[in-house]
Amino acid sequence: MGNHVLDTTYIDFYKEKGKYSGLFSWIFSTDHKRIGIMYLFGMVIFFLVGMTLGFLMKLEMLTKGQTIVDAQTYNAFFTLHGIIMIFLFIIPGIPAAFGNFFLPIQIGAKDVAFPRLNLLSWWLYIFGGLLAIFSLFLAGGPIDTGWTFYVPYSIRTQTNVIIPLLAAFILGFSSILTGLNFVTTVHRLRAPGMTFFKMPLFVWALYSTAWIQVVATPVIGITIVLVIVERLFGVGLFDPALGGDPVLFQHLFWIYSHPAVYIMILPAMGVVSEIIPTFARRTIFGYKAIAFSSLAIAFIGYFVWAHHMFTSGMSETARFVFSLLTFLVAIPSGVKVFNWVATLYKGSIYPGVPLLYVMAFIFLFSIGGLTGLVLGSLATNVHVHDTYFVVAHFHYVMFGGTAMILFAALHYWFPKMFGKMYNEKTAKVALALIFIGFNTMYFTMFILGYQGMPRRYWDYLPEYTALHHISTFGSWILVAGLLLMFYNLLMGLLKGEKAPMNPWGGTTLEWTVPSPPPLENFDVIPTVTHEPYYHPNEEEKH
C-alpha cells in the first residue's frame, strides 16, 4: 500500500490555518483528529483525578479506622472514583479518542459522516464532566450512592444526587451521538474496494460498539429520569409501599450498564487485533472469526445484565437463565484470545512497547475473565457478592483490560497522532512498574474478597490488616508507574524525535499517510485491493 499523500512538503493538521486560531481552533474544530485529541486530553485529566481518588482510598485503607478521611468522605470518594473512571474515562475511552482519530483514516475517508455532530458530542462530554464536578461543591455535599445509584438509597440520601444524574444523562447523549456517527461513517464513507471484510478489525470493533451505544444508552437515560422523578415527586416507581419495585431499578440500570461493559472492552479488543499482526509481522489468524466474535459479544452482551443481581431477590428461574447466558459470552471472548495467540505463533515478533502492553493485557484480562466465571456461577456468586473479589475482578477486566489497551493504543499510535517518538526504554520501565503494582494491589483483593472483606467499607477487622497493607503498597507502585508513563509521553511530545510515517511496519491505511496526517487525511482517496493485515514477505518466510 503506497503513500496516499502526494506532496512531500505537506502541511500537517496541527499547522493548517482554519477559521479560528489558538484555543478556538481546537474547541470549534470539526476535524475528527482534533476532536479525538481533545477527547484524549479530557480523558487523561479525568483519569488523573480518578486515579488520585483511588490512591487516597487505598491510603485510607492502610490502617484500621480513620487514616486520612472520615467514613462519609470515603463514601464520596468511591462514588466519584467510579463515576469519573466509568462515565468520563472508560466509556468514552478508546472510541472517542482513538476511534475519532483513526476510524476515518482506516477506512480511507476524509472525516466522519457528521463532523458537526461529532463536535457537539465532545461539547456534551465536557459539559457533562464539568457538571459532575460542579455538583461536588454544592450544598448537600458530594454524591455518596456509589456509581450504580441504587434505589432506595439514591432516593433517600440528602447528598446531591440529581445533578450528577443529569451529568450522566448528558454524557449518555454524547455517547449516542458518537455511536450514530460511527455507524453511519462505516456504512457510507468506506473507500473504494474497502468491503466490510477488508476493514481493519479495529473498525469492526468500533462498529459493534457503536451499535451498543445507540441501542443501549437510551435505557440509562430513561432510568436516570425515573430516579429524578422519584426523588422529586415520590411517585412510587421503585417503592413497594406505593406499588413499585426496587429490583426494577436494578434491571433498568444493568440493561444499559452491562452492555456498557462491552462498550468499554470491545474497542480494546479491536486495538489488540491491530497491534498483534503489526508486531508479529504476519496477517491476523481468523480474521472473520474475530470480526464476527465482536458482533457476537455485542449481541450476547445485551442479554446477560441480571448476573449483577443474583443476590437482589430476583426469581430463581431468572438467576438460572442469566447465569447460563453469561457463560455464553465466554465463547466469542475465547475465540478472540485464541486467534490473537495463534497470530503470534510463528510470527517474526518484535517486542515493541505496544505489544508488551498487549501481552500484559492478555495476562490480566484472562485472570479478569476467568474470575468472571466464578462470579457468573450462582453458588460462588452468593459467597463473594459485594466483596473485594468483585472489586478485583472488575479492575482486572476494566483496568487490566481496557485501560491497559488504551495505554497500548497511546503508545502504538502516539507517533502517528503527534509526529513524535517517546523513549521506549522508559516506557518499558513504566509498564513493568504498572504490571507489578497492579497485581500487588488487585490480586490481594481477590484473597481479601473470598475471605469476606466487603466492598465499600471504610473500616475492617484486624485479620485483614496484612493484605490491606500489601494492597496499599501495590497502589504506590502502580501510581509511580502511571506517572512515569505519562511523564515519558509528555517528554516525547515536547522533546521527542520526529516520527517516521510507519515506525512499526503497520499495514493499515493510517500508516500510508504522514505523521501527523494532513487536514483531510488523503490527497487521493485510496483504492483498497487487499485485506488489511497483508504482509507481502510473510509467505516467503514460512
What residues make contact with another protein under the rule CB under 8 A?
187, 211, 215, 247, 251, 255, 302-303, 306, 314-318, 321-322
Q: Which residue, 255 or 275, is less far from another protein as judged by CB?
A: 255
Residue 454: CB minimum distance to another protein, A: 25
Q: Which residue, 297 or 406, is less far from another protein as judged by CB?
A: 297
Q: Which residue, 301 or 352, is less far from another protein as judged by CB?
A: 301
Identity at 22, one-letter amino acid code = G
Q: Which residue, 260 or 367, is less far from another protein as judged by CB?
A: 260
Residue 314: CB minimum distance to another protein, A: 5
Residue 177: CB minimum distance to another protein, A: 15
Q: Looking at residue 497, what DSSP letter applies?
A: P
Please state the three-class secondary structure of 79-107 as a single string: HHHHHHHHHHHHCCHHHHHHHHHHHHHHC
| Residue in 461, 463, 460, 467 with CA at minimum distance from that of residue 441 | 467
Task: Report the distance separating Cα 284 and Cα 278, nearest Å.
Answer: 9
Q: Which residue, 80 or 263, is less far from another protein as judged by CB?
A: 263
Residue 536: CB minimum distance to another protein, A: 37
Residue 352: CB minimum distance to another protein, A: 39
Q: Which residue, 21 or 317, is less far from another protein as judged by CB?
A: 317
Residue 211: CB minimum distance to another protein, A: 7
Backbone angles phi, psi at 483, to 5 degrees: -65, -40
Residue 214: CB minimum distance to another protein, A: 8
Q: Which residues, other chains included, contact 225 with Cβ-Cβ below 8 Å and sequence gap of 6+?
A: 169
What does the DSSP assignment read for 211-266? HHHHHHHHHHHHHHHHHHHHHHH---SS-GGGT--HHHHHHHHHHHHHHHHHHHHH
Query: With contact defined as beta carbons under 8 Å apart, do 431 and 353 qualify?
Result: yes
Q: Which residue, 313 or 351, is less far from another protein as judged by CB?
A: 313
Residue 181: CB minimum distance to another protein, A: 14
Q: Which residue, 220 or 417, is less far from another protein as judged by CB?
A: 220
C-alpha cell read off for 139: 450544598
Handedness of CA 158, 160, 166, 168 (dihedral sign): negative
Q: Looking at residue 447, what DSSP letter applies?
A: H
Q: State the residue for C-alpha cell 473485594.
A: 388
Residue 14: CB minimum distance to another protein, A: 37
- DSSP count for the chain of H helices, then E strands: 19, 0
**Per-residue b/e over 4-34, b at no fewer than 16 CB within 10 Å?**
bbeeeeeebbeeeeeeeeeeebbeebbbbbb
Query: With contact defined as beta carbons under 8 Å apart, do 171 and 87 qualify?
Result: yes
Query: With contact defined as beta carbons under 8 Å apart, do 118 and 35 qualify?
Result: yes
Residue 318: CB minimum distance to another protein, A: 4
Q: Which residue, 245 or 531, is less far from another protein as judged by CB?
A: 245
Identity at 534, one-letter amino acid code = Y
Q: Which residue, 321 or 349, is less far from another protein as judged by CB?
A: 321
